[in-house]
Chain A
Amino acid sequence: MNIQMPRINRVPFFFKNQNLLIQCGIIFFIIITLTTLIGPFIVPNDPLTANMSERLAPPSSAYPLGTDHMGRCIFSRLIVGAQSTLGITALVVATVALIGIPIGLVIGYIGGRLDTVFMRVADGILALPEFILAIAIAGFLGPSLTNLMISIVFVKWIAYTRVVRSIVITERNKDYVQAAKVGGSSNWKIIRRHMFPQIVSPVLVLATLDIGKVILTISSLSYLGLGAQPPAPEWGAMLNDGRPYFQSAPELMIYPGLAIFFVVLAFNLMGEGLRDKWDVKSR
């Protein structure tokens, strides 16, 4: 009876070209990376130099987007802030993957009691919402960027371990792995040759989508004052700085917000594009 139903899940036309979606994301990504890497060398003004005589100045040739409440160049702060926001995010996601993937490989491959214990612990940690956990860690260890990063890593690695674990478990029981075992391949070789290629695409998709989420978490917590501390030009912290002035000078919060929005959008586009392309199921 299902024959009269051809694939319903076709993609709407402006998303039809999957490659276009990825391309958009990749172009964004390149722009963002370039900005992050060379931005700090080409910014017109020093992001930390306050100039009280130029407070809340409108955009001019000297200050492309005007100045903030301390007379600092908003444009320069945004560009340099990209480095801090994205750098932290990249570091966090990389750490998470480096912790999560090996554990997932080992647990999935060995299985048994180790696996059961892990799943229990994972459930326990996941019951703690990421955001609350960040608040707990920031609360007990003091608000700082480092503590914020620790708390995100503490929660996030589990997702990677789970994904890798489930793939390894499915693959482990397949004939070709058994054949490789019988053929005398070492465990390490089996993991490297047969398991690793299988986990690359789901993990990449997960990581790409996570980058957006991590950026949002970091900036939200920085906005609360629990992350980057002033005067660091981090986007969330910039928003927090600008808040008292935003009735008179809304651009103080509009620009950093837009920056966050577009960067997260870029990674979400890329992540969705990759997910559709590789047909990775969202978990």
Chain B
Amino acid sequence: MLTIIKNRVTQLVVVLFILSLFTFTLMKMAPGDPVLTILNADEMVVTEEDQAELRNKLGFDQPLYVQYGKWMFNLMQLDLGKSYMSGKPVIEELLTRIPITAELTFFAMTIMLCITVPLGVWSAKYVNKWPDQFSRFLALIGASIPNFWLGLILIYLFAFKLGVLPSSGIGSYSQIILPAFTLGFTFAVVYARLLRAGLLQSLSEDYIYAARARGVKEWRILWLHAFRTAVLPVLTIFGLSLGSFLGGAVVVEILFSWPGLGSLAVDAIFNRDYPVIQGYVLLTGVFVVLTNLLVDLSYYVIDPRMKRKEEAL
């Protein structure tokens, strides 16, 4: 188990290194001179000396690798610089927004699970019967519908026509339902198909046959013997598509005026607030990589065979 963790962590470090290099390069490629931006050159007279002084202070006159080293050093101490717009440290900006996005994501995932699990089990149980066809139909819709459009339609129906749910804002539970559903739905129906496929696969295993032949109750077979391995492919895809999930969250946050990380990033883009963008990209990148690590490790908890197999190698 320890060797597995060690391997994964090494991988993690490599990936994070590439991520940091990538962000740093992009930062350097960005058009416009940050020195001029900070000195607000559009509105004020800036002398060459002022510029040179700041450049020196920020270390921009040093070779790139030195700059990268310093940047990395600061990064290790969670120092991501200051926002051009608000002047507050980026890390602070990010930290105030995380709970809002986390709340949205949490509820979206809850709704997702509430759709995926019953729908997947149901369509596996009635393979090729109408529940199965219905879920396939839903999956096709889910894979084809732009989620911001779904959100718009939902707002139009529930907020404007029926007037039962608020169209935007945060704070109350009624304000969570629409955004969470918008974000969760498109993923839910696609994952339901994956779960179905996984269940059909594991229900055809010999040990399921043997368990049935021992007279084990059908619900126990489904939930205790079959479900566990059926979840593996879903977990994999979930880990891989967590990025799209966060991407979807950006759109949903804008759509429902949620002041989360996504809104912060989009505002930063329009304001050319590079440190904030950089902070956002690094944060989500790290988060996605860490989640993938957790998904990988969860395999060994779900299916102990894997652990022993790898340790035997």
User: Cβ of A128 and Cβ of B254 under 8 Å apart?
Assistant: no
Q: Please tell me if B266 contacts chain A, counting CB pairs below 8 Å.
A: yes
Chain B residues within an 8 Å CB radius of A43: none
Q: Tell whether, in the assembled complex, residue B143 and residue A212 are in contact, meaning their CB atoms are under 8 Å apart.
A: yes
Q: Contact partner of A139 among B133, B145, B277, CB < 8 A? A: B277
Q: Mark A1-28, 1 if CB is under 8 A from B, else 0.
A: 1100100111111110000000000000
B11 and A123 contact, CB distance less than 8 A: yes
The answer to whether the Cβ of A149 comes within 8 Å of any Cβ in the partner chain is: no
Query: Which residues of chain A are near B15, meaning CB under 8 Å?
Result: 123-124, 127
How far apart are the CA atoms of A264 and B285 in the complex, in Å?
28
Nearest Cβ in chain A — how far from B105, in angstroms? 13
Per-residue 0/1 for A224-257: is the Cβ within 8 Å of any B Cβ (1 yes, 0 no)? Answer: 1110000000001001000100110010011001
| Contact residues of B between 63 and 86, Cβ < 8 Å to A | none
The smallest beta-carbon distance between B238 and chain A, in angstroms, is: 13
C-alpha spacing A15/B152, complex, angstroms? 30
Of residues 74 through 128 on chain A, the ones whose CB sits less than 8 Å from some CB of chain B are 120-121, 123-128
Contact A141 B209 (CB under 8 A): no
Contact in complex: B269, A257 (CB < 8 Å): no
Indicate if the CB atoms of A220 and B251 lie closer than 8 Å: yes
Whether the Cβ atoms of A264 and B144 lie closer than 8 Å is yes
* Chain B minimum-CB-distance residue to A121: B18
Interface segment, B21-29, B109-117, B172-180? B21-29
A15–B277 CB distance below 8 A? no
Stretch of A65-73, A130-138, A172-180 with 4 or more beta carbons under 8 angstroms from chain B: A130-138
> Which B residues are in CB contact (< 8 Å) with A127?
15, 18-19, 285, 288-289, 292
Kindly identify, within residues 107 to 128 of chain B, every residue whose CB is under 8 Å from any CB belonging to chain A. 127-128
Determine if A44 is an interface residue (Cβ-Cβ < 8 Å): no
Q: How far is the CA of A269 from the CA of B17 in the complex (A)?
A: 40
Q: Across the interface, which residues of A come within 8 angstroms of B145, CB to CB?
A: 261, 264
Q: Is the CB of A12 within 8 A of B132?
A: yes
Determine the residue in chain A with the shortest Cβ distance to B129: A12
> Is A268 in contact with chain B by the CB < 8 A criterion?
yes
The reply to whether the CB of B295 lies closer than 8 angstroms to some CB of chain A is: no
Closest to A260 in B: B146
Nearest CB in chain A: distance from B71 CB, A: 15
Asked whether any CB of chain B lies closer than 8 Å to the CB of A223, the reply is yes
Interface string of B228-256 (1 = CB under 8 A from A): 00000000000010111011101100100
Q: Quote the shortest CB–CB distance from B68 to chain A (angstroms).
A: 16
Q: In the complex, what residue of chain B is closest to A4 when comparing beta carbons? A: B209
At the interface, yes or no: B274 with Cβ under 8 Å from chain A?
yes
B280 within 8 Å of A by Cβ? yes
A167 sits at the interface (CB 8 A) = no
The complex places the Cα of A134 from the Cα of B268 at a distance, in Å, of: 14
Chain A residue numbers with a CB within 8 Å of B244 are: 129-131
- How far, in whole Å, are A191 and B137 apart by their CA atoms in the complex? 40
Assess whether B269 is in contact with A135, with CB atoms less than 8 Å apart.
Answer: yes
Q: Does A219 contact B (CB under 8 A)?
A: yes
Q: A127-B15, A130-B243 are in contact. Are A220 and B27 (CB under 8 A)?
A: no
Instruction: Tell me whether A58 is interfacial, beta carbon within 8 Å.
Output: no
Q: Show 9 residue pairs from A and B whose CB-CB distance is below 8 angstroms, ordered by the A residue.
A: A1-B206, A8-B127, A124-B18, A132-B284, A136-B26, A239-B148, A243-B152, A257-B146, A261-B145
Q: Which residues of A contact B (CB under 8 A)?
A: 1-2, 5, 8-15, 120-121, 123-132, 134-143, 212, 216, 219-220, 223-226, 236, 239, 243, 246-247, 250, 253-254, 257, 260-262, 264-265, 268-269, 272
